[in-house]
Amino acid sequence: MKKKLKEKLENINFLLSKNAQSRPSYQVKMVIDFLLEKNKGEKYKNLLDVGGGFDAVYKEELSKLSRNYLNLEIKKGGLVNIVGSVYRMPFKANEFNIICLFMVMEHLNEPLKALKECSRILKKGGYVAITTVQYWQTHNYPSDYFRYTRNGLEYLCNKAGLKVVKAYSHGGPWLVLFHVIEINLRGPVRIIFSIVFYKLFNFLDWIFFRHYDRRVESDSLGWTFIASKT
């Protein structure tokens, strides 16, 4: 009984921490854990981080999946290894074991074309890992085009020849409500609101809407998809 109570308290503390499920770092962790389990703890031969940014913010984490990390961006700079367009990447067919699109899909004006290109350079049995938003403020890096439901994202993956093998939701109705309020506040009020209420809303989501088991039609801040090329 004491052991179960301790585990429950540890889970609550974890979900109230900086690694709460609505945060990108937690979403990437979910991808890494799932793919390592699929490969029996062994690292993959190579990994392409599409739109990884000039600072390659997830490079250290993704090194747990593969020693051969490449970061593709549309411009030179920082820790970018490869310069190119996601619609026509400078790689041969069937080249990569893992391709990551972390918070990239909403910035693509032709998402299906991009996924088809990922499928082209992905090895058979390889994985595309996607994180994206369903509810989020407009953020132009350089442009912001779409928001995705689970059904919509799964449809695009299927059309690109990718089979979804795992789907996680980020946050639920309470965090959607928090976000709607938070983005409409300004200055110190916004900061204070976030500090005071984020953990509470995240906790309410965890209590009433289990993120992993939520139905397709439930509200979510966004999604993590892992799809395989069969």
The pLDDT, as a whole number, for residue 162 is: 98
Structure pTM? 0.84
- Residue 2 CA to residue 58 CA, distance in Å, equals 37
> Per-residue confidence at 203, pLDDT binned at 50, 70, 90?
confident
The identity of residue 183, as a single letter, is I
For residues 122-145, average pLDDT: 91
Q: Residue 76 contacts by C-beta under 8 Å, 6 or more apart in sequence?
A: 83
| Confidence at residue 23, expressed as pLDDT on a 0 to 100 scale | 58
SS (H, E, C) 155-172: HHHHHCCEEEEEEEEECC
Beta-strand relationship, 122-133 and 162-170: unpaired
Domains of the chain: 17-171+218-229 (3.40.50.150), 173-208 (no CATH)
In contact, 140 and 106? CB cutoff 8 Å: no
Whether 90 shows a pLDDT value over 80: the answer reads yes
List, in order, residues 6 or more apart from 58 with CB less than 8 Å away.
28, 49, 52, 100, 102
The string of pLDDT tens digits covering residues 25-56 is 778 989 999 999 999 999 999 999 999 999 99
Tokens of 79: 């820790």
